Amino acid sequence: MYRGSLIRSGGNAKTIKGDKAGEYETAIMYLAPAAQSGMGNVCPMAGQAGCEMGCLSKAGRAAIFNSIVNARIAKTRRYFSDRAAFMAELVKDIEAFVRYCERKGVKPAVRLNGTSDIQWEVAHPCVRYIKLKHPQQEREAHFASIFHAFPEVQFYDYTKITKRAYRALPANYALTLSYSEANPAYANAVTKTASETGMNVAIVFRTKALRNARMASRDYTGGWSREVIDGDETDMRFSDPRGVIVGLYAKGPAKRDTSGFVVG
């Protein structure tokens, strides 16, 4: 279990399932979702996708302890107030996590958007100090993104920003589109993007039984003839086959969601 200032491992039920396989350990960064921080919106599509009510930030321990919510707000405010300092903090945190994983003999995986949808691949440069062969010497290396700075780390996220699917993403960053029927235009955009790019799509079904039925039928809608896989077995989306629907079922407040974010 890793506990950093921005990212942590061992606190998510699905990542723990994947971690038990012994190959990877996953650390996640949880920020205050949408505009909860009062300084900006880290989930620009939350309104269109209708996902704010069923947000996982309101499930689990965060729904009980104000201290967790306040800590996430504080992190998010640091992000908005001083981006460069935040990125420097993130670099140090991931470096520490990499060392932790090396000691455990596992590979590091990081999910930066646990409760946000920030486009980390653009406008987020960072600096990492690379150690040289001579003791106590290092050089300052500038990178276009955190993904380029840490090629040894497998990064992954879910996203509702469809234009991200058309970008040439770093090889160590896997994205999964997130579907919602709250807004027909948004639903159509996700369907179109998935068809054009082949990117996987995560769908939250009303019940586990409904999700399992879709898995058996292999077809979510008449427009999509895609295999539906169990997205709750593990959170390691980078290991999913290409061109599938990642089937999830509603948990926490999402069980009562009627916006269209939860399907069925």
pLDDT digits (tens, 9 = 90+) for 113-139: 999 999 999 999 999 998 777 667 778
Count of the separate structural domains present in the chain: 1
pLDDT band per the 50, 70, 90 thresholds, residue 168 = very high
The overall average pLDDT reported for the chain is 88
Q: pLDDT per residue over 20-65, tens digit each?
A: 567 999 999 999 998 889 999 999 998 877 666 556 555 444 444 5
C-alpha 29/C-alpha 75 separation (Å) is 10
Does any domain span residue 257? yes
Does any domain span residue 32? yes
pLDDT band per the 50, 70, 90 thresholds, residue 19 = low
Least confident of 154-163, 172-181, 202-211, 218-227: 218-227
Query: Can you give the pLDDT at residue 16?
Result: 63
Least confident of 3-17, 52-66, 183-197: 52-66
Does any domain span residue 2? no
Q: pLDDT per residue over 69-101, tens digit each?
A: 899 999 999 999 999 999 999 999 999 999 999
C-alpha 139/C-alpha 129 separation (Å) is 5
Backbone angles phi, psi at 16, to 5 degrees: -60, -40
Query: Can you give the pLDDT at residue 59?
Result: 47
Tell me what percent of the residues of the chain surpass a pLDDT of 70. 86
Structural domain boundaries enclosing 88: 7-263
Does any domain span residue 88? yes
pLDDT at 253 over 70: yes
pLDDT band per the 50, 70, 90 thresholds, residue 217 = confident
User: Cβ distance 72 to 30 under 8 Å?
Assistant: yes
Does any domain span residue 21? yes
Per DSSP, what are the bridge partners of residue 229?
A: 246
Pairing of strands 7-9, 24-29: antiparallel
Does any domain span residue 1? no
Query: What pTM was computed for the model?
Result: 0.90
Does any domain span residue 234? yes
Query: Can you give the pLDDT at residue 219?
Result: 62
Phi-psi region of 22 (alpha: psi -120 to 50; beta: other; left: phi over 0): left
Does any domain span residue 25? yes
Mean pLDDT, rounded, for 239-245: 94
pLDDT at 198 over 90: yes
Per DSSP, what are the bridge partners of residue 8?
A: 3, 28
Characterize 191-210 residue by residue with b for buried, 16 or more Cβ atoms within 10 angstroms of its Cβ, and e for exposed.
bebbeebebbbbbbbeeeeb
C-alpha 261/C-alpha 264 separation (Å) is 10
User: Cβ distance 251 to 207 under 8 Å?
Assistant: no
Q: Which of 156, 153, 146, 158 is nearest to 56 (CA)?
A: 158
